Amino acid sequence: MDKSLRKQKRFFIDRIAKFCDKCGSAYHLSDIQVIQDKGPSAIIHFSCRNCKSSNVANFVSPMGFTTRIPINSDLTMDEFPRFASGETVSLDDVLEVYICFENGKGCVKI
Ligand SMILES: [Zn+2]
């Protein structure tokens, strides 16, 4: 991990969450992943090494404003950015898949 990434992760731990909300264990630099850091907003994934709970935080730097959302997911910390940067699934997409399975057909488009 390069020095600037370590410094960035330390900043987010100090500003957003030093400890896990669920079990109180301290976060380490390797427990967080910066998913997106564009412009004034950053999205950070926190994963507790003790209880395995996950949180996603949105940090808006000009105001120092943070929202943090606990998530229940079986995605690993490495998998999370892949899905977070993907296209949004629309309701029509969900209905299309449902109909494919309902009809017993394969979903070729997916
Ligand atoms: Zn925990």
Report yes or no on 110 lying in a domain. Answer: no
Q: Is the pTM of this model over 0.75?
A: no
Rounded to the nearest 5 percent, the helix, strand and coil shares of the chain are 30, 25, 45
Report yes or no on 97 lying in a domain. Answer: yes
Report yes or no on 94 lying in a domain. Answer: yes
Report yes or no on 67 lying in a domain. Answer: yes
Cα(23)–Cα(16) distance, rounded to whole angstroms? 16
98 CA to middle of ligand 1, Å? 36
Domain hosting residue 50, numbered range: 3-102
22 CA to middle of ligand 1, Å? 5
Report yes or no on 11 lying in a domain. Answer: yes
pLDDT tens-digit series, residues 32-91: 999 888 888 888 999 999 998 888 888 887 777 778 777 777 777 778 777 777 788 899
Report yes or no on 107 lying in a domain. Answer: no
pLDDT at 109 over 70: no
For residues 12-26, average pLDDT: 92
Report yes or no on 45 lying in a domain. Answer: yes
Residues having C-beta closer than 5 Å to ion ligand 1? 20, 22-23, 25, 48, 50-51
SS3 of residue 31 by DSSP: helix
54 CA to middle of ligand 1, Å? 8
Domain count, the chain: 1
